[in-house]
Amino acid sequence: MHYRSGFRPGLFDQQSIFIPGGGGGLGRCIAHELSSLGAQVILAGRSIEKLEKVRDEITEDGGRVAGIYTAELRDEKAVIALIQRILDSHGRVHGLVNAAGGQFPAKLKDLSLNGWNAVIENNLTSYFLLSREMYRQCFEEHGGSIVHLGADYENGMPGMGHNGAARAGLSNLTFTSSVEWAASGVRVNCVIPGFIGTTGLDRYPESAWQGLRNVVRKAPINRHGTAAEISAAVVFLMSEMAAFITGIDLRVDGGIHHGRGGFLFKAQEGSSAPAFNGFHRDETAELLKD
């Protein structure tokens, strides 16, 4: 069984795409789909074991992983060296999907400066460094496409204020870089997932599980999303079909940003849009299996 993509075969033939965070979560799914469409993918992350697992999966499915790299993506010197090594080893890179990151729940009054800095560095600084260096060392001369994975921040993020600040900064980074780098043939966009039913939900404390199960009741499409639905948005923005799209936040969230109604109208219960499950190796969160 192979990835069931909605895009045409060979869409990314002869292209190399770098995916920091490709060793797990949404990055793993994106790597599988891009590979199934002909891309040569290059993966980076913190865990060599996870990267090796994804490499072996993609190879087994008939795709190609050109290389896997571990690096501290929050460290400027490490990122500069990583991009140089990738370009020296594999030649031109055509696209960058920033899928690394991490956060933890904490109220602002309980949040240490170290905790604040760690999340800002994970979810904003690393994205900036990777984008800047890919632009400086490759995209400024050859062009390319960048897609970030962000998170919705516009209505605040109680319990995750550090993450909300980072993600707001990421959207602004997207807008600014899309203007500054457009003359070099570089497009920059950001995909903002809603609540996606992958194993990443299981990392939250059990006290939050019931809330994570029920939160989708606030969305017009009353269910959790799938990794393949996020990947499809990323793939579209990376593709030639999106050649006139840059500097956008694309929400893939079942409409939760808009809610299920106001004081005059409440949406009916139920979901009118069945899920798209194209990722043949997807793993559902344990908290959603009951």
Residue spans of the domains in the chain: they are 16-254+265-288
pLDDT band at 200 (very low <50, low <70, confident <90, very high): confident
User: Among 231, 198, 227, which residue's Cα sits nearest to residue 35?
Assistant: 231
Distance CA 101, CA 272 (A): 32
pLDDT band at 290 (very low <50, low <70, confident <90, very high): low
Beta-bridge partners for 43 = 19, 68
> Position of tokens 């299981």?
202
Identify how many contiguous H helices and E strands the chain contains and give both numbers: 9, 7
Question: Is the CA virtual torsion 130, 134, 140, 145 positive or negative?
Answer: negative
Fold of the CATH domain 16-254+265-288: Rossmann fold (3.40.50)
Report whether pLDDT(98) > 80. yes
Q: What is the pLDDT of residue 18?
A: 98
Q: What is the pLDDT of residue 114?
A: 97
Mean pLDDT of the chain, nearest integer: 94
pLDDT band at 203 (very low <50, low <70, confident <90, very high): confident
The highest-confidence range among 72-76, 102-106, 270-274, by mean pLDDT, is 72-76
| pTM of the complete model | 0.95
Report phi then psi at 193, rounded to 5: -75, 150
State the average pLDDT over residues 245-274: 85
Q: What is the pLDDT of residue 271?
A: 61
Q: What is the pLDDT of residue 166?
A: 97
Q: What is the pLDDT of residue 270?
A: 67
pLDDT band at 231 (very low <50, low <70, confident <90, very high): very high
Count of C-beta atoms within a 10 Å radius of residue 112? 9
Distance CA 114, CA 97 (A): 27
| Cβ–Cβ under 8 Å, residues 86 and 42 | yes
pLDDT band at 175 (very low <50, low <70, confident <90, very high): very high
DSSP string, 208-264: GHHHHHHGGGGSSS-S-B-HHHHHHHHHHHHSGGGTT--S-EEEESTTTTT-SB-SS
Identify the burial level of 164 via C-beta atoms within 10 angstroms of its C-beta, where 0-12 means exposed, 13-18 middle and 19 or more buried. buried
Question: Structure tokens of 65?
Answer: 């992983």
Distance CA 71, CA 270 (A): 44
| Cβ–Cβ under 8 Å, residues 144 and 94 | yes
pLDDT band at 204 (very low <50, low <70, confident <90, very high): confident
pLDDT, tens digit, 9 for 90 and up, residues 2-12: 999 999 999 99
State the average pLDDT over residues 169-191: 98
pLDDT, tens digit, 9 for 90 and up, residues 209-227: 898 899 988 889 999 999 9
Distance CA 238, CA 193 (A): 16
